[in-house]
Amino acid sequence: MPITTQDRTGKGLFKRSLTGAARDAECARMRAAGYLLREIAEHVGLKTEGAVAKAIERALRDVQAPAVEALRASQQHTLDLLKSTALDIMARDHVAHSNGRIVHGGCPGLDAAGNFQHDGCTFNVPGTAYCEGPPVIDDGPKLSAIAQLQRLLEREARLHGTDSPIRTAIEGDELVIRIKGGVDMDAV
Ligand SMILES: [Zn+2]
């Protein structure tokens, strides 16, 4: 589509009519069509070539936004799964093992009222083996899960933080897209 670089009134009617995102998009479109920054500036009513370059960068960011959002959503999904697993581990009790066998803490016997003091107790039950007491709880897995969850939350903060994972820039004739810490799934 040909671009008219002169407005019809000659008094900047077109210039006033294009603002914001529409003007940014027009700048990017003209640049893609091979117009010089100076020509674009004149056409859309921007004062400097630098302003046009910035407008083009904004336009490119707008175009990239859906792709970035999709990437972010995918990473958030992974983070949610990992967080959910970590929370499950935190919520569960983990029995201690030694040489592949559950470690028991010794039976406290019966309470003053003659009731068992732990689940599965066989204290003094005729015909059963000596009660070893309840399993010893190992806090290690919970502590590991807490540490992992903290990492995941930090990762999540970076994912949504002010430190945007994507940067676009025009370098010469190339659109350069830099993704910072955004696709490193191994680090999750
Ligand atoms: Zn017992």
pLDDT of residue 52: 95
CA of 107 to the centre of ligand 1 (A): 4
pLDDT in tens, the chain (188 residues): 444 444 444 444 444 456 788 899 889 889 888 999 999 999 999 999 999 999 988 888 887 788 778 888 899 999 999 999 999 999 899 999 999 999 999 999 999 999 999 999 999 888 888 899 999 999 999 999 999 999 999 888 888 774 555 555 666 666 666 655 544 444 43
DSSP string, 159-175: HHSSS-SEEEEEETTEE
The model's pTM is 0.49
CA of 131 to the centre of ligand 1 (A): 5
CA of 169 to the centre of ligand 1 (A): 70
User: Which residues are close to ligand 1, an ion, with C-beta < 5 A?
Assistant: 107, 121, 123, 131
Contacts of range 147-155, beta carbons closer than 8 Å, 24 or more positions apart = 148/82, 148/86, 149/83, 149/86, 149/87, 149/90, 152/79, 152/82, 152/83, 152/86, 152/188, 153/83, 155/79, 155/187, 155/188
CA of 137 to the centre of ligand 1 (A): 15
Dihedral in degrees, nearest 10, Cα atoms 174, 177, 68, 185: 140
CA of 135 to the centre of ligand 1 (A): 10
pLDDT of residue 142: 92
Using H for helix, E for strand and C for coil, what is the string for 84-126? HHHHHHHHCCCECEECCEECECCCCCECCCCCECCCCCCCCCC
Are 46 and 14 spatial neighbours (Cβ–Cβ below 8 Å)?
no
- The residue written with tokens 């068992």 in the block is 116
